Amino acid sequence: MLNPSTPPTQAVWLVDTSIYVYRAWHTKELPLLDQQGHPINAVRGFLRWLYAFLHENQPTQIAFAFDEAQIHSIRRNLSPSYKAQRKPVPDELKYQFQLCREFLTALGLVTYSSPQFEADDIIGTWVQQQDAHTPCHIISGDKDLMQLVRDIDVWWDYGKRPPLNEGKIKKATGVWPKQIPDQLALAGDAADNIKGIDGIGLASAAKILHKFTSIEVLFMRLPEMAQLKHLRYAKLLQERIGQQEAPLRLNKQLTKICCDVPNVPQDLKRKATDLETLSLLGEQLGLSSEQLALWAKV
């Protein structure tokens, strides 16, 4: 339990699903095939993770965000180079993503995806929908999602590391959660093909934001940057930032999570399990009757 005064059943659990499917996909195991002869290692690995997660935490309000192809996403429209280096998802993995989603739906769990918005944005919208007294447990291995953490929330890479509240995020990253988009705008994010300012890494970006709090404040007070005593080459970096105002502002648009995705489900309460569909999926995936019985009770 995260906090004895906040039972897990009172929290809203928001899962960045793709990372846990990808981790299972990259695990080296003997190949597993379903009834049609399709590989299902990623599905079976994800289900092992999912069962442990649901069994331990027993969430009553929970939702799973998925990514879709982002060819015409809001960020690609802003910057065609955004994530342009990433290879398309292989067809056999797309097939497994769909099976994972069908299994979640059979369990009565909410799922959602969008061709315009990323899973991060969907989770951000769900966080935005909660009132100030409802804690969110953001389940992800993606540190970008730390920016969503409010004073009652946690970011948690479940199964990998302990949950982090906003104070622990500050200790781990050097900035408060709401400053993470600014930090990534300055330092860049190679995973998303975002180029930052030459000579600025995450640590130096944190030093700048400790003084100026945000990109917007930095540009309002840019002449002061040359006086930063704990930042190496402060004058040179000030000049580079001054020459890159438009790209930096664009970077922040790319790194900041959108929290107003249209049409996302608002009722995140778990529904009853569809035992018939669960049984059919279990048969397709080669689950034993004992395993299906456990899933029916989880």
Q: In angstroms, how far is CA 69 from the centroid of its own chain?
A: 16
Q: Where are the beta strands (DSSP E) in the chain?
A: 12-16, 61-65, 110-112, 136-139, 154-156, 188-189, 194-195
Strands 154-156 and 136-139: parallel
Confidence of residue 4 (pLDDT cuts 50, 70, 90): very low
Kindly state the average pLDDT of the residues 62-74: 91
Contacts for 73 with CB less than 8 Å, ≥ 6 apart: 82, 115, 116, 117, 118
**pLDDT tens digit sequence for 150-194:** 999 999 999 999 999 999 999 999 999 999 999 999 999 999 999
Task: Match 């990514």 to its residue by tokens.
Answer: 67
> Average pLDDT, stretch 112-129?
97
Q: What is the pLDDT of residue 5?
A: 46
Model pLDDT, residue 166: 98
Query: Which of 172, 192, 73 has its CA nearest to residue 122?
Result: 73
Q: What percent of the chain has pLDDT over 70?
A: 97
| 268 DSSP 8-state letter | -
Would you list the DSSP string of 14-64?
EEEHHHHHHHHHHS-----B-TTS-B-HHHHHHHHHHHHHHHHH--SEEEE
pLDDT at 9 over 90: no
pLDDT score, position 204? 97
pLDDT in tens, 198-238: 999 999 999 999 999 999 999 999 999 999 989 999 999 99
CA separation for the pair 270, 9 (Å, rounded):
11
CA dihedral 234, 205, 242, 194 (to 10 degrees): 140
pLDDT of residue 7: 54
What is the per-residue pLDDT for 29? 83
Helix axes 275-285 and 91-106, enclosed angle (nearest 10):
150
Higher pLDDT, 75 or 71: 75
Residues 287, 295: contact at Cβ < 8 Å? Answer: yes
135-143: average pLDDT: 97
> What is the structure's pLDDT at 70?
72
pLDDT tops 90 at residue 267: yes
Helix 41-57 with 91-106: angle, nearest 10 deg: 30
Residue 2 in this model has a pLDDT that exceeds 60: no
Confidence of residue 49 (pLDDT cuts 50, 70, 90): very high
- pLDDT band at residue 245 using 50, 70 and 90 as cut-offs: very high
